[in-house]
Structure 1
Amino acid sequence: MDWKNLYKGFLMGTSDIIPGVSAGTIAVVVGVYDKVLESINGIFSREWKRHLLFLLPIAIGMLAAIGFLSNIMELLLEQFPQPTFFFFLGLIIGILPFLFIEAGAKTNFTARHYILLIIFGIAIASMRFFQEESNAAIWDTIGPTELVLLFLSGWMASSAMILPGVSGSFLLLLFGVYPTIIRAVSDFDLVILAVVGLGVILGLAIMSRLLHYLISNFSTMMYAIIIGMVSGSTIVIFPGLDGEILLSLITLCLGLAAAYALGKIEHSSKSKKL
């Protein structure tokens, strides 16, 4: 069990409550994406204890971030939306060079890989056209229909969580359940959290198997797709400029610096293992 993964899980959990930012992207940023997929699949194998011990600090970090930061993030997005998104924009842009190095793009990428990169980058960027402020009200009553929608929303959001560049929170916005789930987290509504959580668990179990197979057997192709999706996500989360330019530039630089630091930490960690 590596308790250093707590902070990685914390960063992933923070991204989960921000529409437009993907936990999968942050997992790539902090260098645990492949291992997370492998461990989720390994939970159902004979070596489940080893995989569970790897996932435990990440899960604790994610839950801590979601629990502690839901109110804070709601306030930041309400009061300082542009600087907040610029920080994550810097984080994502800053990690792209490390992704190209990790993929060995100079030697491994061919024309078809760059074509895949562009196609998936455009596909993710096109989600910008569907990005609108959610006008959905917080549900006052929860019936069978709402419970089914919450379960399906959790399923779809979890599938998006492990796809770099695709935001689970953004899908919750599209489903119209984001305000209700955020309040449930803040109020610790066990019924809503249990239903959404069940959908998340099943979605993770199924999608992780597919992605792990693809990464194991088509590594270079998947790196091209991941880099394209991460690149495209910068278009989705770009908030525009509405006057807080100086503060936004500062948070952008902080995001770039954080990405550089994380990349150096992961590179140093891998060098020591070698």
Structure 2
Amino acid sequence: MRLHAPGAGGSLAISLTAPPIGVFLVLRRMSLMGDAMGHAILPGAAIGYLLAGLSLFAMSLGGFAAGLAVALAAGLVARSTVIREDASLAGFYLLSLALGVMLVSVRGSSVDLLHVLFGTVLALDDGALLLIASIATVSMMTLAVIYRPLVMECFDPQFLRSVSPLSSPTHLIFLVLVVLNLVAGFQALGTLMAVGIMLLPAVAARFWAEDVGGMIGVAIASAFASSVVGLLVSYYVNVPTGPAVILACGAFYLLSMLVGVRGGVLWGLMPRRHLEA
């Protein structure tokens, strides 16, 4: 007996590319934006489903278009009204979630709705695996190109704007990467779970590393381990795979919060010397 190879490969590919995106979301204090964007892709995926059924290409293209449209619309509203970007994004995300659920329910069954919301890792085929691997490759190459301005924008965006014209293009490219990786995660984990593998390892990594490179390394390693653990638990205990993977990520986050060497609860309770050399 063996695990479903495309499902395992898809989970590991997502674990390679989504956590670094999550690290930058955490550093830029945009974690909730990632969650909102995960829901924003739902109506686009639902429209693709209505037009072409459970078509990989149609649902992915619709999800990408919807996610990017919501991100740009939220930014435009924030710049042209008194509403802040987080509030604007929250409004669009709630509308998107409700619209997407309604659209899927119009034509599909409850099984189709659960498939869209929670994903089916073990049902991935070779086409889905190829799409996820392609997004992972493009994302890693793009991150390598924009890494320096992206790090600078996380810590001192005003300085980046004053010395370089790359601030706005970097922000836009980063939003595209967020949406792309949510689309990839949606194929395996569904719209409600895709953001989990992006953000939970990134948040947990903050308890183990201080620099950006270290956080990315820890986040990828924990996502890989959580994917393997989740797949094995799902396989042997016969529970849904997506939630099992995200619960494994959550378990590592809770463990990191307790024993992490950089601000963990137990380390904070340990007595410290009054005078240090």
TM-score, scaled relative to structure 2: 0.30
Larger Rg: 2
Which structure carries more relative contact order (alpha carbon 8 Å, separation 6+)? 1
TM-score, scaled relative to structure 1: 0.31
